Amino acid sequence: MSATPADRLRELTFRLEYAPDGDRITTILRQHETLEFSTIDVVLGTGSYTRLVQLTGDPDAADRLQTALEDRDYCPRAVDPEACGGQWSWYRLECAPRRRLIYVYADEIQSCPAVEALAATSLNCGTICESRHCGQTAWWRLLMRSDEAVSTLYDRLHEALEDEDVILEMGHLGTATEWHGDGIVDVGLSGPQREALEAAASHGYYERPRESTLEALASTLDVPESTLSYRLRMAESTLVKRHLERFGDGHDGSSI
């Protein structure tokens, strides 16, 4: 039986900004600027999903974050952590000093004001939820077969956050063009590195001729010039290696 090519997936993006001391996870992330964790969740059915959780950063900080997440059985980062109901099981896949990878299975989700749980009870089976958490901010991207229930998800998420100190900022809803997968496939950029690149790009640092200097950028970001230079070099190195690994002519980027 031949298969008919399907239309592209739909994509929804948004950002959550947590209060500085809103929960234990936020506190740990804010204390370690190079620490972050990312997730990829696949909705299996109403009330169930699987997820991969990746932690990257300084080993001691990663230990603290891993302990905090294990204490909660890797339940979703909810507005009210005590509100999550269901059955959770998790397994360590990798435990390197600066990188941890954990598989989580969630079933019989009852009431949980978290993105993963709301997606599992609102959207189609097979929906993929990708997130990156750094400091007070969590960036989300959802890939869906249909966007018919997006309004339902938005209403439920907005209702869950209405009386909480968490800011929801919508991104866009449209056709998905590619799979990034940076949160699990590779380490990606730290929050400060990403901030440095975004500031450099927006201020014309990479234009020819340059429209801003390193000194001016450092002053804008309120960081030492040497620190900014280091973050830009590390971010640029990561992006070059990633590009060669994905699109190069056989090079794996290891000699860069």
For residue 81, give every residue at least 6 positions away whose Cβ sits within 8 Å of its Cβ, in sequence order, or none: 23, 72, 75
Domain end among 142, 177, 212: 177
Q: Within this chain, do residues 134 and 235 fall inside the same structural domain, yes or no?
A: no
In a domain, 115, yes or no: yes
Q: Which residue has the higher pLDDT, 129 or 240?
A: 129
- Res. 46 pLDDT band, cuts 50 70 90: confident
Q: Which pLDDT value is given to residue 150?
A: 84
pLDDT band at 83, cuts 50/70/90?
low
244 band by pLDDT with thresholds 50, 70 and 90: low
Same domain, 58 and 171: yes
Quote the mean pLDDT of the chain.
Answer: 78
What is d(CA 246, CA 243) in angstroms, rounded to the nearest whole number? 5
- Indicate if 75 and 107 belong to the same structural domain: yes
Which two structure tokens, joined as six digits, stand for 233? 């070099």
Last residue of a domain, one of 177, 205, 225: 177
Q: Under 8 Å CB-to-CB from 235, ≥6 apart: which residues?
A: 189, 193, 194, 196, 197
Query: Do 61 and 28 contact (CB within 8 A), yes or no?
Result: yes
User: Quick one: tokens of 155?
Assistant: 């209403």
**Is 35 part of a structural domain of the chain?**
yes
Position 252 confidence tier, pLDDT thresholds 50, 70, 90: very low
Last residue of a domain, one of 177, 200, 225: 177
| pLDDT band, residue 253 (cuts 50/70/90) | very low
In a domain, 184, yes or no: no
In a domain, 74, yes or no: yes
- Predicted local distance difference test score (pLDDT) of residue 6: 56
Task: Reduce the DSSP state of residue 107 to 3 states and report it.
Answer: strand
Q: What tens digit of pLDDT does each residue of 119-140 get?
A: 777 777 888 888 888 888 888 8
Residue 256 lies in a domain: no
Enter the tokens of residue 214: 């390193």
pLDDT value of position 79? 55
Global pTM value: 0.65
| pLDDT for 206 beyond 60 | yes
User: Domain for residue 254, yes or no?
Assistant: no
Phi/psi at 111 (5° precision): -140, 115
pLDDT for 43 beyond 90: no
Instruction: Evaluate whether residue 18 is within a structural domain.
Output: yes
Domain count, the chain: 2
Boundaries of domain holding 147: 10-177
| Residue 170 and residue 195 in one domain | no
